[in-house]
């Protein structure tokens, strides 16, 4: 069966969308694996936790203090 250009382009976009969805899913899996590791490490070795000094805290707040985070919200579906 002969296909027209629109069908080929449409199929290409579908494949691209599937690749993007797989990439986002993989990234979420990687994040969850890291957070799981971090959680277990903190639970198993709380003595490793360290406080940061005031200049470091101020610097971090200057970088991300203006960002609102909804911890109960859904994860974004695309890269930001």
Q: What are the pLDDT digits (tens) for 30-79?
A: 888 888 898 999 999 999 988 889 999 899 889 988 888 787 888 777 65
Indicate whether 16 belongs to any domain. Answer: yes
Indicate whether 76 belongs to any domain. Answer: no
In this structure, is the dihedral angle defined by the CA atoms of residues 42, 36, 72 and 21, taken in order, positive or negative?
positive
Indicate whether 74 belongs to any domain. Answer: no
Domain that holds residue 45: 5-64
Beta carbons within 8 Å of 20's beta carbon, 6+ residues apart: 78
Q: Are 77 and 17 a contacting pair, CB within 8 Å?
A: no
Distance CA(26)–CA(39), nearest Å, equals 20
Number of domains into which the chain is organized: 1
Question: And the tokens for 21?
Answer: 């969805």
Indicate whether 44 belongs to any domain. Answer: yes
Write down the pTM of the prediction. 0.45
Q: What are the pLDDT digits (tens) for 4-40?
A: 656 666 676 677 777 777 777 777 888 888 888 989 9
Indicate whether 79 belongs to any domain. Answer: no
Give me the count of residues in the chain.
Answer: 80
């Amino acid at each position: 069966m002969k296909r027209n250009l629109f069908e080929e382009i449409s199929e290409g976009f579908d494949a691209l969308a599937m690749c993007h969805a797989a990439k986002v899913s993989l990234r979420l899996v990687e994040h969850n694996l890291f957070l799981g590791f971090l959680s277990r490490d903190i639970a198993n070795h709380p003595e490793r936790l360290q406080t940061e000094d005031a200049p470091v805290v101020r610097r971090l707040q200057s970088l991300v203090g203006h960002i609102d985070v909804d911890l109960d919200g859904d994860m974004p579906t695309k890269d930001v």
